């Protein structure tokens, strides 16, 4: 397993991404085409910025990326890519929708690689992760355009099925994806909702 992790760590360095997590988005993009040229993308939990960089390259100069994180994200300027707008904020904050909409009202894609700070208590960590995942779905309901896509990290465990069912109510197609670049021993998986249906 260590070999696989070293491989992605080295690859990220070579490809000039700040984190190897970029391949968890790249693999899904190659399989399901979540992002398209010209899309507006909201990246929740964006720091240190690999997904935002990757998305900006895929959507190109006519697209836009807005990244939100509790932590600072180093500003990125990329050639032949979308502008990346960074917001330092908590997605649980009451006024977060208004803050995001200062940049743009609706997005074609919402991404979330949000992970809570883990405590080592599996049950508590899974519950924290699920609270954040539910919040990303709630924000998507307000911020996604019709037929938009949603790609979100979740930790499998109790209530996971219920979360997937909630995603199924809002998207025409739903997949659960475990990228090769995600540690096999990790309980993280990604829920992909494609083609958002506005209620
Ligand atoms: C695994 S990292 C994201 C890596 C990123 N996708 C990349 O490729 O560079 C998870 C991020 O979620 C952020 N996060 C956790 N809870 C958050 C919250 N409530 N609001 C905003 N960001 C949060 C953390 O600060 C952390 O930077």
Gap between the Cα atoms of 56 and 79, Å rounded: 10
| Å from CA of 68 to ligand 1 middle | 8
Q: In this predicted model, what pLDDT tens digit does every residue of 10-61 receive, in sequence order?
A: 999 999 999 999 999 999 999 999 999 999 999 999 999 999 999 999 999 9
pLDDT of residue 75: 84
Provide the pLDDT for residue 157. Answer: 83
> Ligand 1 pocket, 55 CB below 6 A?
no
More confident residue, 89 or 74: 89
Cβ-based neighbour number of residue 34 at 10 Å: 22
pTM above 0.75, yes or no: yes
- What domains are there in the chain, each with its CATH number? 2-196 (3.40.50.150)
The response to whether residue 148 sits with its C-beta less than 6 Å from ligand 1 reads no
What is the residue-wise DSSP string for 30-53?
HHH----TT-EEEEES-TT-HHHH
CA of 60 to the centre of ligand 1 (A): 23
């Amino acid at each position: 397993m260590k070999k696989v992790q070293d491989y992605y760590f080295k690859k990220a360095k070579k490809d000039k991404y700040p984190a190897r997590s970029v391949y968890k988005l790249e693999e899904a993009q190659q399989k399901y085409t979540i992002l398209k040229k010209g899309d507006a993308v909201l990246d929740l939990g964006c720091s240190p910025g690999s997904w935002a960089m990757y998305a900006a390259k895929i959507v190109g100069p006519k697209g836009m990326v807005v990244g939100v994180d509790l932590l600072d994200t180093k500003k990125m300027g990329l050639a032949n890519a979308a502008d990346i707008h960074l917001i330092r904020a908590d997605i649980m904050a009451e006024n977060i929708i208004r803050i995001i909409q200062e940049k743009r009202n609706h997005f074609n894609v919402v991404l979330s690689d949000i992970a809570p700070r883990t405590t080592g208590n599996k049950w508590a960590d899974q519950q924290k992760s699920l609270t954040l995942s539910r919040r990303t779905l709630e924000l998507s309901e307000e911020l996604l355009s019709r037929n938009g896509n949603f790609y979100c990290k979740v930790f499998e465990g109790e209530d996971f099925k219920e979360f997937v069912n909630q995603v199924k109510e809002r998207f025409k197609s739903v997949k659960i994806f475990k990228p090769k670049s995600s540690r096999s021993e990790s309980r993280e998986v990604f829920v992909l909702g494609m083609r958002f249906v506005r209620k």
